[in-house]
């Protein structure tokens, strides 16, 4: 799954926001909590834990930052959770004062969620699209 949104804010500001996972509950509807479990600064090897709600279930997941290019790209992978996830967020300037955020989310649920994938995948994709529109609204409103 992927999402792309143009945000009328400086790329550096947007990257600082989307790479600090503690902000996730502010713009991701299903996110209940998110906290860093490693010391700053954020970089390769940093870890965090999150609790998300999906289809009435709480899903606890631990993540590690596996790629980090300051101001441009962060990639995280799950290290513990319901199913493996690999998430990449890229931020690039598109004009003076605007940037594009691109996200690629990979993950194949197992167990019951895997069986329900034909139903849950479209729901998850719609949720991701709405989250990135919410991110745009939040950051542009704060500007």
CATH number of the CATH domain containing 14:
3.30.530.20
Rounded Cα distance between 17 and 9, Å, is 11
Q: Which two tokens stand for residue 64?
A: 């590690």
Q: Which helix (H) or strand (E) holds 95?
A: strand 85-95
End-to-end distance of the chain based on CA atoms, in angstroms? 29
Compute the half-sphere exposure of residue 138: CA atoms within 13 Å on the CB side of its CA: 17
Rounded Cα distance between 75 and 9, Å, is 21
Q: Which two tokens stand for residue 78?
A: 């799950």
Domain that holds residue 136: 2-141
Tally the domains of the chain: 1
Please write the tens of the pLDDT for every residue from 28-77.
Answer: 999 999 999 999 999 999 999 999 987 788 989 999 999 999 999 999 99
* Rounded (10°) CA dihedral 19, 23, 29, 34: 90
Tell me whether the omega of the peptide bond preceding residue 39 falls within 30 degrees of 0, making it cis. no
Please write the tens of the pLDDT for every residue from 72-115.
Answer: 999 999 999 877 899 999 999 999 899 999 999 998 765 555 55
Taking each helix axis from N to C end, the angle separating 117-141 and 11-18, rounded to the nearest 10 degrees, works out to: 130
User: Residue 3: which of 97, 112, 127, 93 has the closest Cα?
Assistant: 127
Model pLDDT, residue 123: 73
Model pLDDT, residue 82: 79
């Amino acid at each position: 799954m992927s999402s792309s949104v143009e945000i009328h804010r400086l790329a550096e500001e947007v990257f600082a926001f989307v790479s600090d996972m503690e902000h996730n509950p502010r713009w991701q509807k299903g996110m209940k909590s998110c906290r860093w479990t490693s010391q700053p600064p954020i970089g390769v090897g940093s870890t965090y834990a999150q609790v998300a709600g999906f289809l009435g279930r709480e899903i606890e997941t631990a993540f590690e930052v596996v790629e980090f290019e300051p101001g441009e790209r962060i990639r995280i992978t799950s290290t513990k959770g319901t199913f493996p996830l690999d998430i990449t967020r890229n931020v690039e300037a598109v004009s003076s004062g605007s940037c594009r955020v691109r996200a690629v989310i990979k993950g194949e649920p197992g167990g019951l969620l895997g069986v329900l994938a034909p139903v849950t995948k479209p729901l998850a994709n719609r949720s991701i699209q709405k989250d990135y529109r919410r991110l745009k609204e939040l950051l542009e409103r704060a500007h």
